[in-house]
Amino acid sequence: MDDLVIHAAGEVECTPEWMWDTGEGFADHDLWTVFGGRPVSAGSSVMLSPGTHYRATHDPARPLSVMFVHFGANSGQPLPDVPLPAAARRVDNTGFYRDLLRRVVKAQHENRPTDAARWFRCAMLEYLASPESMPEAIDARWRDTIQTVCARRGRRRPSSSLPDGWGTRRITSAGCSASLRG
């Protein structure tokens, strides 16, 4: 990730009526992490792939609190060491992970791109060291629905923007939503 650049970063408290539809998808990667709300628990983190359509909703009685980091390569080429396709993980040390992501957000907002990229590399180490699974992090009342939806949506789609052997797919462990449609 030597060629890493942060395009946008932030912390958001979703409104009760929040829903997400990325349309044609993002032009870059997005690390999206939940720190509060339902149907997922704090530390639920997912790497969203460029060019993939995602839809999500949440429990309006317990709105999500999330942090996001959109990133890519300065060269505009795909980042070869970013885990693709989308990988959902549960980061256990949420306080430490949130602090790292807040440093990314702060550096990005203070126009310190080198520092933002350095802090993001640290956050990525935490993300990559976490187990690639989500169902146990999800509130039990949503688990069966999510697994059923994801089983139907876990098919790969070709992507002309990625090298041979790479591809994008919908999230197969619904770490970021209880309602994944597409």
Q: What percent of the chain has pLDDT over 70?
A: 65
The reported pTM is 0.71
Domains for the chain: give ranges and CATH numbers. Answer: 4-169 (2.60.120.280)
Task: Give the Cα separation of 60 and 72 in Å (integer).
Answer: 32
Q: Count of CB atoms within 10 A of residue 164's CB?
A: 5
pLDDT in tens, 19-41: 988 888 888 889 999 999 988 88
DSSP 8-state code for residue 40: B
CA–CA gap between residue 67 and residue 30 (Å, rounded) = 10
Strands 44-48 and 4-13: unpaired
25: amino acid identity, one letter: G
| Whole-number Å distance between alpha carbons of 57 and 93 | 25
Residue 154: the pLDDT is: 44
pLDDT over 90 for what percent of the chain? 40
pLDDT of 149 above 70: no
Secondary structure (3-state) at 177: coil
More confident residue, 1 or 129: 129
